[in-house]
């Protein structure tokens, strides 16, 4: 079927999205729990505890940016209206 190519593209993009999701999870987990859990030893960045700054703020900004890059460079435009013998959407 001629449209399988389109579906293959869609599948590849799904993997990119899932990879990004796993990456976001890993970053979230490692930065949230990797800085020790004694509040008296915390250091602070822009007023926020280090773990919070990295996991919640950098994590959010970072994943948004990576997503933008991925979408821009790896995601393909496809034609959703596959015109088949005169069949048109209402």
Residues 6+ apart with CB under 8 A from 17: none
Contacts with other proteins, 23-42, as mask; x by CB under 8 A: -xx--x---xx---x-xx-x
- Choice from 26, 30, 43, 60 touching other proteins (CB under 8 A): 60
Report the interface residues with other proteins, using CB under 8 A: 1, 3-4, 6-7, 9-10, 13-14, 16-18, 20-21, 24-25, 28, 32-33, 37, 39-40, 42, 44, 46-49, 51-52, 55-57, 59-60, 63-64, 67-68, 71, 75-82, 89-90
């Amino acid at each position: 079927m001629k449209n399988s190519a389109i579906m293959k593209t869609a599948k590849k993009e799904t993997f990119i999205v899932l990879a990004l999701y796993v990456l976001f999870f890993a970053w979230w987990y490692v930065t949230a729990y990797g800085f020790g859990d004694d509040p008296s030893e915390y250091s602070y960045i822009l007023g926020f505890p280090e773990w919070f700054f990295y996991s919640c703020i950098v994590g959010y900004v970072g994943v948004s940016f990576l997503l933008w890059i991925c979408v821009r460079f790896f995601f393909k435009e496809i034609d959703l209206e596959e015109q088949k013998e005169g069949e048109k959407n209402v």
